[in-house]
Amino acid sequence: MPSRVPVLPPDDPLREVLHNEVHARPSARIRLPALVIYVAVLNDGVTREAECQHLRQLPNQGALRLEDLQANFLRLRLGGHTLKWERHSEFTRYSIVQPLPERALPGAAEPELLSSLAIDIEWLRTIPGRTVAAIKLVLVDSDLTDPQAALAVGRRWFGERTVVASQIGRNGYACVVTDFCLLGSGFERMLVIAPPCTSPTRVGRISQRLLEIETYRLMALRGLPVAKTLGMMLHEAEATLAGITATLEDARSSDQALLDTLIALAARVERATAEHGYRFSATLAYDAIVRQRIEELREAAIPGTQTIGEYMQRRLSPAIATVAATAQRLVSLSQRIERAGALLRTRVDIATEAQNQQLLAKLTRGQELQLRLQGTVEGLSIAAVSYYVVSLLLYVGKAAKAAGAPLNPEMAAGALVPLVLWAVWRTTRRIHEKLYRAA
């Protein structure tokens, strides 16, 4: 392939990664008849290194490098079978594709499959993580001109149990049968019947859609136990909030007690939101994927049985509705607590403003009294200062009389009293004026 001529501006650092994303996790090419052993495990606390170490235990995989797992997708060819490893945000998927043993071909009744597993069963048992989905998917080729005959084959294959079945693809190209039941081994079973001419690529797409439907269905349902657990807490919280709101109407109630109760309630709700908000969002996202994959099947009903879409609609939809309602209920409760807090803050602000007005009124009255007292003290001070000045002038007059001056000290002092009073008063006023200008 010739090198690209540099006629474009430099690439964005993410261009190649985003472009190649469309080619990530390609469907397997599966030749009929085939057996797919599929296991999905939760990878919380499981490192990529641990998964790599487990994959190295497979035959001839001792040289597997951690870098080979960086794309979160790996397909290993192990002789006559293949193993596909896929790591997602919450779970990791392992898919083993191998030839189907003859005892499981159409016409068999509840065939045993694990004894024909191409890899060591102990390796399967020790996969790091906790199992969330395990499926034995059998894909066979057979005539599909009569859907009822294909359904009868599927029912016999499942031991005449009640099954869910449908024709899938344009014009009912293939038939899928399952019972969505767990066996004692922990596996579910699915049977796909397709025409002998079906291409390996098409078979791979069919198997991928079916496996993803069941995996994402189980991942979506992980939000249901959380929603049920939160139901009682939300009921109690709503009752408590209703009591707080009713108490707000009583002006005699204690604001501090209401505030303490409201803060405790808000903390409980915010903690529940922080702990379970991601699970609720993930549930809705997984449900959307399930619906999309079911739509991609293009199911057509076989008279006498439910389709996968109908089965999911009747059983999955109520669970998802419960999760969605709980998530909305949590958000609504948080908003109502916020509004109640705003009302309580308004009530506290009004009470605080009234207290401040009363305090200002008391301060104003105190200042008025202080000014009156100050005026009284100033008047007494003027009189006292004037008395001391007149006394000094009297001593001066007596000294002058003793020195021979023709002067009556008492008469002179009495005559100077008005002048002294005016001078002291005028001096006090000037001091006030200077203080006011400085302020």
Residue-wise pLDDT for 376-424, tens only, equals 766 677 777 777 777 887 777 777 777 777 777 777 777 777 887 788 7
- Give tens-digit pLDDT for 189-215: 999 999 888 889 999 999 999 999 999
Give the best-scoring range by mean pLDDT among 156-165, 280-289, 377-386: 280-289
> Across residues 220-234, what is the average pLDDT?
90
Q: Residue 284: its pLDDT value, please?
A: 92
For residues 61-89, give the mean pLDDT: 89
pLDDT above 90 for 187: yes
- Sorting pLDDT into bands at 50, 70 and 90, what band is 123? very high
| pLDDT attached to residue 254 | 66
pLDDT tens-digit series, residues 244-257 = 777 776 666 666 77
| Proportion of the chain above pLDDT 70, given as a percent | 92
| Per-residue pLDDT band at 53 (split at 50, 70, 90) | very high
> Is 90 exceeded by the pLDDT of residue 146?
no
**% of the chain exceeding 90 in pLDDT:** 29
Q: Residue 221 has what pLDDT?
A: 92
Sign of the four-CA dihedral 83, 87, 88, 90: positive
pLDDT higher for 107 or 89? Answer: 89
Q: What is the 3-state secondary structure (H, E, C) of the chain?
A: CCCCCCCCCCCCCCHHHHHHHHHCCCCCCCCCCEEEEEEEEECCCCCHHHHHHHHCCCCCCCCCCHHHHCCCEEEEEECCEEEEEEECCCEEEEEEEEECCHHHCCCCCCCCCHHHCCCCHHHHHCCCCEEEEEEEEEEEECCCCCHHHHHHHHHHHCCCCCCEEEEECCCCCEEEEECCCCCCCCCEEEEEEECCCCCHHHHHHHHHHHHHHHHHHHHHHCHHHHHHHHHHHHHHHHHHHHHHHHHHCCCCCCHHHHHHHHHHHHHHHHHHHHHHHHHHHHHHHHHHHHHHHHHHHCCEECCCCCCHHHHHHHHHHHHHHHHHHHHHHHHHHHHHHHHHHHHHHHHHHHHHHHHHHHHHHHHHHHHHHHHHHHHHHHHHHHHHHHHHHHHHHHHHHHHHHHCCCCCCHHHHHHHHHHHHHHHHHHHHHHHHHHHHHHC
If you average pLDDT over residues 274-300, what whole number do you get? 91
Using the predicted structure, report yes or no on whether residue 108 has a pLDDT greater than 70. yes
Looking at residue 134, its pLDDT comes to 95
Residue 118 has pLDDT above 90, yes or no: no
pLDDT at 3: 54
pLDDT-wise least confident of 13-17, 146-150, 216-220, 292-296: 13-17
**Threshold 0.85, pTM exceeds:** no
Band of residue 50 on the pLDDT scale cut at 50, 70, 90 = very high
- Give residue 5's pLDDT: 62
> How high is the pLDDT of residue 250?
67
Does pLDDT of 162 surpass 80? yes
Q: What's the chain's average pLDDT?
A: 84
